[in-house]
């Protein structure tokens, strides 16, 4: 940085970098930039212990009167940057099926324990988006469900657990990303609803979060014409961030942008101009996830906007003051209370929900054919921390069931040889070929157990199956929970957190 304004601008930035080790070039760039914080992704995490060492090196390089905000996405389910050695926690939708605030708070505390062990101080969770569009895949099981009241209750409970554990909870994505099928990592979604519906459905959980004292809220890169007729992304909209979040909801905490390199911003107004507009709209902390060079250019663009009178200096200093206050809080948090590392396994078991029929019992030694018609893992944004998951058959084998696998396109002769069949599906509603293949298979074997491993809407589209169970996630913790219930002969107790009729 070359001047005071550039240095001030950098104190509104939270930046990402490559590598799981403290590369001298990265440390030099961070020292030159002096951002407010850093954001960690799977690319930075070889193990929790190694991550803590990396963070310590980065903090030392950027040593200041205030610590860096060290941030990550540790939601549970498919969005979890910390994997090996971390508590296994199912998705928010699985927690929605449990509908237990005390359980959610314990899950939040377990998440916080791992976040703190990794050296981080800020968790971009809970997700307060309401799952109102069955076609939505970017949120999906990351939501607690389609009832705003439940989303608010359970989200705030998880946030309480995080903050009890000494971690800043960041509610996201304001004013709501659950009512669109377009993924803002790729393009700009438009939420088409009138203002009254938006306030009652999408904004309501965030209003509860503000009333509950949450310290930070993350914006959504979505256009909401009913709230901003000019069609600006909410992240860049003064009507949304100042008019609604600040003035209407009276939020005085830190407003964090989603990443400015996402397609909804980068391919429209551009990352540099978008950062300036976000600050002008009322944001305080600007996320630049993937490029330190771009982050430096953004700091210069912010400074230039102040000099040109396009961004008031008072607005920039207000943002810095809020971010500094949050950094100061992270410097003084006490040691967290002990967390229960097994709470995620408990939650996954309690989340199991029958969409139809009853769960069979598969005794040890039973021969079970497991067929899979699952969606390939996405390779961008929120999914980039995924690992290869052990198949459901492996989870059954560990419990003594004689399970073996075959593709969902297996021929009739394979099906006829199997005494018992399980068909594991995820998001077949988005793939007509996989949907038709699953329907054909279930027509031949309606006695097969349908395992819906992501959003539960597939259960409605595959009515041929007499029994359908929902796990709300295809992570190991959820598949093992189902395997254990099958062998124990335990009927699921979860309640459907969304209306699955909407998918029909």
Catalytic residues: 185, 258
236 touches 277 (CB < 8 A): yes
Query: Is the backbone of residue 448 left (phi > 0), alpha (psi -120 to 50) or beta?
Result: beta
Q: Tabulate helix, strand, coil % of the chain (nearest 5).
A: 45, 15, 45
- Give the span between the Cα atoms of 100 and 153, in whole angstroms: 9
CB 140, CB 173: distance < 8 Å: no
Cα dist from 52 to 48, 55, 119, 228, 386, whole Å: 6, 5, 5, 42, 20
Which tokens sit at 494?
């979860």
Residue that the structure tokens 């060079």 belong to: 293
Based on its alpha-carbon atoms, the radius of gyration of the chain, rounded to whole angstroms, reads 23
| 403 beta partners | 368
d(CA 467, CA 488): 17
Contact between residue 467 and residue 358 where contact means Cβ atoms under 8 Å apart: yes
Count of CB atoms within 10 A of residue 242's CB?
17
Enumerate residues 6+ apart whose C-beta is below 8 A from 415: 369, 421, 441, 444, 445
d(CA 128, CA 144): 8
For residue 219, what is the enclosing H or E element?
Answer: strand 216-219
* Residues 6 or more apart in contact with residue 202 via CB below 8 angstroms: 129, 130, 132, 148, 175, 176, 178, 179, 191, 193
Q: What is the Cα–Cα distance from 169 to 211, expressed in whole angstroms?
A: 14
Q: Is 450 helix (H, G, I), strand (E, B) or coil?
A: strand
Angle at 456 between CA 468 and CA 162, to 5 degrees: 125
Q: What CA–CA distance (Å, rounded) separates 260 from 264? A: 8
Distance separating alpha carbons of residues 483 and 401, to the nearest angstrom: 9
Q: What angle do CA 277, 279, 285 make, to 5 degrees?
A: 130
Pairing mode of beta strands 402-407, 367-373: parallel
Q: How far is CA 63 from the centre of its chain?
A: 30
């Amino acid at each position: 940085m070359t001047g005071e304004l550039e240095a001030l601008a950098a104190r509104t930035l939270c930046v990402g970098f490559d590598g799981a080790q403290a590369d001298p070039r990265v440390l030099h760039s961070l020292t030159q930039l002096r951002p407010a914080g850093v954001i960690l992704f799977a690319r930075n995490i070889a193990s929790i212990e190694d991550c803590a060492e990396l963070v310590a090196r980065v903090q030392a390089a950027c040593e200041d009167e205030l610590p860096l905000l060290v941030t990550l996405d540790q939601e549970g389910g498919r969005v979890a940057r910390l994997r090996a050695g971390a508590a296994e926690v199912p998705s928010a939708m699985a927690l929605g099926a449990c509908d237990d605030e005390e359980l959610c708070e314990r899950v939040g505390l377990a998440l916080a324990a791992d976040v703190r062990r990794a050296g981080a101080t800020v968790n971009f969770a809970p997700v307060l988006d309401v799952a109102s569009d069955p076609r939505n895949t970017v949120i999906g099981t990351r939501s607690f469900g389609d009832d705003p009241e439940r989303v608010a209750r359970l989200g705030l409970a998880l946030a309480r657990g995080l903050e009890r554990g000494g971690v800043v909870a960041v509610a996201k994505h304001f004013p709501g990303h659950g009512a669109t099928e377009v993924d803002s990592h790729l393009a700009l979604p438009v939420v088409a609803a009138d203002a009254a519906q938006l306030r009652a459905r999408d904004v309501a959980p965030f209003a509860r979060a503000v009333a509950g004292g949450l310290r930070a809220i993350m914006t959504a890169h979505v256009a909401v014409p009913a709230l901003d007729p000019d069609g600006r992304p909410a992240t860049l909209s003064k009507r949304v961030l100042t008019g609604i979040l600040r003035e209407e909801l009276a939020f005085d905490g830190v407003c964090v942008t989603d990443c400015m390199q996402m397609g909804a911003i980068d391919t429209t107004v551009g990352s540099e101009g978008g950062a300036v507009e976000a600050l002008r709209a009322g944001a305080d902390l600007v996320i630049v996830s993937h490029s330190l060079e771009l982050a430096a250019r953004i700091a210069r663009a912010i400074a230039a906007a102040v000099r040109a009178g396009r961004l008031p200096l008072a607005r920039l200093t207000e943002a810095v003051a809020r971010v500094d206050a949050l950094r100061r809080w992270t410097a003084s948090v006490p040691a967290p209370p002990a967390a229960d590392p097994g709470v995620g396994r408990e939650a996954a078991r309690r989340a199991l929900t029958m969409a139809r029929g009853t769960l069979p019992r598969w005794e040890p030694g039973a021969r079970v054919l497991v067929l899979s018609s699952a969606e390939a893992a996405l390779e961008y944004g929120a999914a980039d921390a995924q690992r290869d998951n052990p198949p459901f058959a492996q989870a059954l084998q560990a419990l003594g069931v004689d399970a073996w696998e075959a593709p969902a396109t297996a021929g009739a002769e394979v099906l006829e040889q199997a005494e018992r069949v399980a068909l594991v599906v995820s998001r077949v509603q988005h793939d007509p070929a996989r949907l038709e293949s699953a329907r054909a298979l279930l027509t031949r074997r309606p006695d097969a157990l349908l395992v819906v491993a992501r959003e539960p809407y597939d259960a409605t589209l595959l009515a041929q199956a007499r029994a359908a169970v929902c796990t709300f996630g295809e992570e190991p913790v959820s598949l093992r929970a189902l395997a254990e219930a099958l062998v124990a002969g335990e009927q699921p107790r979860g309640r459907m957190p969304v209306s699955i009729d909407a998918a029909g």
